[in-house]
Structure 1
Amino acid sequence: MTNNLSVVVNADAQQVWTSLREPSLVAQWHGWEADELGDEINQIYFSTDVVEGPDHTSLTVNGGDVFELTPVSGGTEVRVTRAALDHDSEWAAWDEDITQGWLTFLHQLRFALERHPHGHRRTHFVSLPGGSGSGIQKLGLADVPAPGEEYSLTLPTGEALSGKVWFRSNHQVGLTVHSYAEHGDGLLIVADQPVIPEKRPDGGTIVIASTYDLGAASLDSIRSHWDSWKAENYPTEVHSH
């Protein structure tokens, strides 16, 4: 079942639009730090087939998916409408991954604009193989409270986390994390991935930790906790980096 691909951001439509049209700002919410992130952003948001709506309330990105911005009580609703699925496309098998990715990135967009509009995030990305069940369950996050409620827990990685539940969906959990930012909080998203026959036969899980203004030692500690836990629990896998 496809999740509702929309969020309400506590910001005006022009602020949201700027976050869609400035490459350095897109990098604060799209994806995670990686060598290819800049090229990916340019391909999706700034290639020649991208179409800007004349009133800056819609953006058709590479591949045909459409962002729509609508002023609402409390800010701006940002909605992504997926393009019709081309079953002959090389991307057809990954269609649900793309849908789930948009959901993740919409919540990262909302977080960046509401919590760190002038911040610079540093991320840690972890990819966990499937085969041993849901990563959300394995990390003890299946029963977190409703969005907006406070939580406090210790992950099996050894990290003691506290904050508020940012969102929950069928396959994802997002948590604000006090210790992921020098001021305010950071964001942790854990997303279970579906089985894709012949490509990802066991499913999997991805983890995106978005941190802000941490010193090198604090960031290294977060990365070490995640990588050590992965090495112990998935010993046949190469470390994330």
Structure 2
Amino acid sequence: MSDRRGLKPYDVEVAVAAGRDETWDAVTQPAVLHQWFGWDYDGLGAEIQQIFVDQAVLLAPEQMGWADGSYLEVTGNDDRATVRVIREGSGSAGPERYDAIEEGWRAFLVQLRFLLDRRPAGRRRTLYLTGETTGRQALALVESPAGEWERSGPRVAWVVDTDGHLVVVAGRLPLGDRDAGRMEVTVSTYGLDDAAFETLREEWTKRWAPVAADADVTTAADPAPNN
């Protein structure tokens, strides 16, 4: 049993344009989880199996939980649903304290909402960019017809770029901070063939390398980068 004392509590949720049953399938079925959870690297399948199958405990219909006291629940009706991830803890830290699991859920639920709301066709393939830079520089990488970035807390922002790809930026520091810190940029694409995906990887690598120290780009063939 994990020691839950001092863990930072959090409460993250998204509303999606899908019914409760379809949404529950999206958070429990590995084939669908691959379409939104995390980012591609050579251990993603094992990670999904561990988190959502081996370690998850069914607490109630359409509610699962984990040993740290966190749980995920899906509520709604046949047309719309809400996915909520909660960790109740005794920690007193406010939003200024970084918690990797909380910020991961903020980013991943954005990706789930994109999948269920936009319903992109084809297999998801991602670019996962890591390095040290400022939030301002990371957000300046993307041109979007939609304009403004949308936020999920102080450290996560997302936008759909001019090619229709979902771009999620997550920082160890708040994105408005002037100091450089570790940034993670996940570009989710759907239905690209090998040639188009390779071209996109080259374009993003050229954009990312000049603005981030220790810049790295991870795809499905690569191991996860060091945190």
TM-score band, normalised by the shorter chain? Answer: 0.7 to 0.9
2:102 is matched with 99
Deviation at 1:222, TM superposition (A): 2.1
Counterpart secondary structure, 1:205? strand
The CA distance in 2 between the partners of 1:15 and 1:125, in whole Å, is 27
1:198 is matched with none
The CA distance in 1 between the partners of 2:210 and 2:79, in whole Å, is 44
Deviation at 1:39, TM superposition (A): 1.2
Q: Cα 1:10–1:42, aligned 2, differ >3 Å: closer, same or farther?
A: same
Unaligned stretches of 5+ in structure 2?
1-7, 92-96, 219-227
Instruction: Give the alignment partner of residue 161 of structure 2, picking from 161, 177, 189.
Output: 177
User: Contact 2:33 / 2:48 at 8 angstroms: preserved in 1?
Assistant: yes
The CA distance in 2 between the partners of 1:202 and 1:138, in whole Å, is 9
Residues 51-107 of structure 1 deviation map (CA, whole Å, 9 limit, x = unaligned) = 224422x11145432111121797111110025378xxxxxxx96111010011111
Q: Structure 1 vs Structure 2: percent identity of aligned residues?
A: 29
Displacement over 6 Å in runs of 4+: none
1:52 is matched with 58
1:167 is matched with 150
Q: Cα 1:95–1:37, aligned 2, differ >3 Å: closer, same or farther?
A: farther
Q: Cα 1:140–1:167, aligned 2, differ >3 Å: closer, same or farther?
A: closer
Unaligned stretches of 5+ in structure 1?
87-93, 142-154, 180-184, 196-200
Length-normalised TM-score, structure 2: 0.76
Output the aligned Cα RMSD: 3.1
User: Contact 2:36 / 2:115 at 8 angstroms: preserved in 1?
Assistant: yes
Aligned residues: 202
Length-normalised TM-score, structure 1: 0.72
Instruction: Give the alignment partner of residue 89 of structure 2, picking from 74, 84, 95.
Output: 84
Residues 185-212 of structure 1 deviation map (CA, whole Å, 9 limit, x = unaligned) = 32111112139xxxxx963110000001
1:21 is matched with 28
1:227 is matched with 205
RCO higher in structure (CA 8 A, sep ≥6): 2
Which amino acid is 1:162 matched to?
Answer: P
